[in-house]
A = this chain, B = another copy of it.
Amino acid sequence: MEKISRTKVVDLLKRRDFGAMVNVKGWVRTRRGSKQVNFIALNDGSTINNVQIVVDLSNFDEEILKLITTGACISVNGELTESIGSGQAAEIQAREIEVLGACDNTYPLQKKGHTMEFLREIAHLRPRTNTFGAVFRIRHNMAIAIHKFFHERGFFYFHTPIITASDCEGAGQMFQVTTKNLYDLKKDENGSIIYDDDFFGKQASLTVSGQLEGELAATALGAIYTFGPTFRAENSNTPRHLAEFWMIEPEVAFNDIIDNMDLAEDFIKYCVRWALDNCYDDVKFLNDMFDKGLIERLQGVLKETFVRLPYTEGIKILEEAVAKGHKFEFPVYWGVDLASEHERFLVEEHFKRPVILTDYPKEIKAFYMKQNEDGKTVRAMDVLFPKIGEIIGGSEREADYDKLMTRIQELNIPMKDMWWYLDTRKFGSCPHSGFGLGFERLLLFVTGMTNIRDVIPFPRTPRNAEF
């Protein structure tokens, strides 16, 4: 076959130099046609759009043609021509075809219309479908948007550790990490397992959050963000929980809670705008196939200023709704940790736009949040979104050493694990704030997918670590 340098489908479909000889390589999505002419829809993953290959059967060997089945990988040399019927402006009149890899009829993606459950079982092949191609291209673009947003604003990407020996953040149950021989566990005289011979010389786990280390970095470099995997060993088999997920955690010296809200709102709007500007074909496909309200919802977030409301006011609104006869599954009262139904009522029914809820009761929030002067609430701020509920959780941090110590003692957090964190308040303490965004929560919002297992390539959930 003549050597012509390959053009990606995404670039090819933009070309208008009809008559040029081109080469494309990709996987056959469908093949149809008559006894004289066949049409191959070829996809190479660079875009959701296929390029149509027009094959005059009389020019090709039957042995070759037999191998051009759904899923086969082929290389095509041909003439770029203007297309009328393919849905794209350009198509290719095939001159030479080479089958790089055949694909027999045991290929699981032959027919269309598989259930999402079935596609999860073949997660190693699902990126070859339109839906998951779109989702993973959007996932890529959201990651790029995140790095771009922070880099442009002078934040530094900071890698907090994945393996940790401290477990005081209390954000969730942890996975243990060990190299110990479980068949020969040495114990001391009290029957406690000795970790002296474990890899790190002590018990170690997978991180549940990089925030505490992020605060160390912010109080040195000024403004940082993390973007890495985070782990929760909770036995939650729901469409919203993963045991392994990616989290973004910015932390900024000298920011108060207002700056923090401004940053969160700018940040999430930047990401949503990026999706509409850079992934329109993929978003449109998901809108049309799965969720007719998707694009409207994305545009809605961009249009509106987010409501900023103290928790106490939020409770009043919910109590008034109950008084007027609205039924919630869970009770509403001051001090309650809001359920998703409460958050969604505020966002979707009451305000009809995103809400940043602030100043939560200290009892339902973490020890490091800055205490308000009322003695009851802390400077927390959660961003609540339509369909998703909480998409961002953050706060201004307690900068005062004594107040922080008191809270740590009240909650019986073991101090031996906390000395390094406390040093930030001991040596040149400063006001600072930050938040966490679950990357897959953002992706649920931007793709319209309803199960979090469908926005990460290889989901890890209870009893599932395939591939």
Contacts and interface: CB of A to CB of B under 8 A. Distances in A.
Contacts of A267: none
A221 B136 contact: yes
A102 B428 CA distance: 5
A100 interface: yes
B178 A178 contact: yes
B44 A457 contact: no
Interface string A134-155: 0011011001100100010010
A161 B253 contact: no
A127 interface: yes
Contacts of A165: 465-466
A71 interface: yes
Contacts of A257: none
Interface stretch (A84-92, A169-177, A308-316, A361-369): A169-177
Contacts of A103: 426-428
Contacts of A424: 124
Interface stretch (A201-209, A296-304, A327-335, A339-347): A201-209
B229 A162 contact: yes
Contacts of A156: 45, 136-137, 139-140
Given A162-B244, A228-B228, A127 B221 contact: yes
B124 A420 contact: yes
Interface string A451-462: 000001110101
A306 interface: no
Interface string A151-193: 1001011111111111000000101111110110100000101
A385 interface: no
Contact of A254 (B25, B147, B213): B25
A219 B151 CA distance: 31
Contacts of A430: 25, 73, 100-101
Given A73-B429, A102-B428, A222-B8, A175 B161 contact: no
A46 interface: yes
B127 A243 contact: no
Contacts of A421: 124
Interface string A427-443: 11111000000000000
Contacts of A425: 101
A464 interface: yes
B125 A8 contact: no
A161 B177 CA distance: 16
Interface string A8-27: 10100000000000000111
Contacts of A176: 177-180, 182
A458 to B, nearest CB: 4
A143 B163 contact: no
Interface in A369-405: 399
Contact of A107 (B71, B201, B427): B427
Interface string A211-229: 0010011011111000011
Given A72-B428, A221-B137, A462-B200, A467 B157 contact: no
B182 A465 contact: no
A6 interface: yes
Interface of A: 6, 8, 10, 25-28, 44-46, 71-73, 75, 100-104, 106-107, 124-125, 127-128, 133, 136-137, 139-140, 143-144, 147, 151, 154, 156-166, 173, 175-180, 182-183, 185, 191, 193, 199-202, 204, 206, 213, 216-217, 219-223, 228-229, 231, 233, 235, 243-244, 246, 253-254, 399, 420-421, 423-431, 456-458, 460, 462-467
Given A10-B154, A133-B220, A213-B458, 17 more contacts: A45-B253, A46-B221, A100-B429, A106-B426, A124-B421, A125-B220, A133-B221, A140-B157, A144-B147, A144-B151, A161-B460, A161-B465, A163-B175, A166-B467, A175-B178, A178-B178, A201-B463
25 contacts: A8-B154, A46-B223, A71-B427, A71-B428, A100-B428, A101-B399, A106-B426, A124-B216, A127-B221, A133-B220, A133-B221, A144-B157, A147-B147, A160-B457, A162-B229, A163-B243, A163-B244, A175-B179, A199-B233, A199-B462, A200-B460, A200-B464, A201-B463, A228-B229, A420-B466
